[in-house]
Amino acid sequence: MSFNYGKTLKNGVALGVLAGLISGCTNSGDLMNSLNSLNSLTGLNSDTKKFDTAYLQQTIYPGKTTKSQITQMFGAPSTEALNSTSTSNESNWTYDKQDEGLNRYMKLANKYVSDETRLKLYDTSAQLAKVQKVANDVSSATSTKTSQGQAQGSVLTIYFVDDVVKYYRVY
């Protein structure tokens, strides 16, 4: 097996899996199941709870919730920062919706594929964004709310003092 054949096979398998996910979203007989499948693929499902202020008020308690509890609820943050001028070990974690769902997998896939396949992945991502806009329009026209409608922001920053939540912001 030549190097090019193996590379082509790997790229073909990656595109096949992505195409299967997309076709699974579009071929479902039930419109709401299709919207929910698309939302889970694009990260607009349970992962977005962390951007919903009502959910955060019920789960994060300043002065009580710890970093390990936040990690259990939301996973690793997109970025971490340590306040080096603080005497009380202050830090903050940021979760960005841009780094959730399909975007996370696209960034990972782009590390391992050829330039040609990378362009195909970007094209597929653009098509998914168009489909998501249509799904949002259908959802608003039929007066059904998806989990995306509950999200209040796209960035969550949690501020800690000595590994305990001091406060958080959603914007």
By CB atoms closer than 10 A (0-12, 13-18, 19+), residue 165 is: buried
DSSP conformation letters of 9-57: HHHHHHHHHHHHHHHHHHS-SSHHHHHHHHHHHHT-SGGGGGG-HHHHH
Mean pLDDT on 89-108: 79
Residue with tokens 């991502």: 125
Residue 4: pLDDT band with limits 50, 70, 90? low
Residue with tokens 């000595």: 162
Q: For residues 134 and 166, which has the higher predicted lDDT (pLDDT)?
A: 166
Q: How far apart are CA 18 and CA 25, in angstroms?
A: 11
Strand locations in the chain (E): 79-82, 90-96, 155-161, 164-170
Q: What is the pLDDT of residue 114?
A: 85
Which residue range is the domain that position 64 belongs to? 3-170
The yes-or-no verdict on residue 31 having pLDDT over 80 is: no
pLDDT digit string, tens, across residues 105-118: 777 777 788 888 88
* pTM, 2 dp: 0.54
Q: What is the pLDDT of residue 159?
A: 96
Mean pLDDT on 79-86: 85
Q: How many CA atoms lie within 13 A of 18 on its CB side?
A: 22
Structural domain count of the chain: 1
pLDDT digit string, tens, across residues 106-160: 777 777 888 888 888 778 877 877 777 777 677 666 655 544 445 467 899 999 9
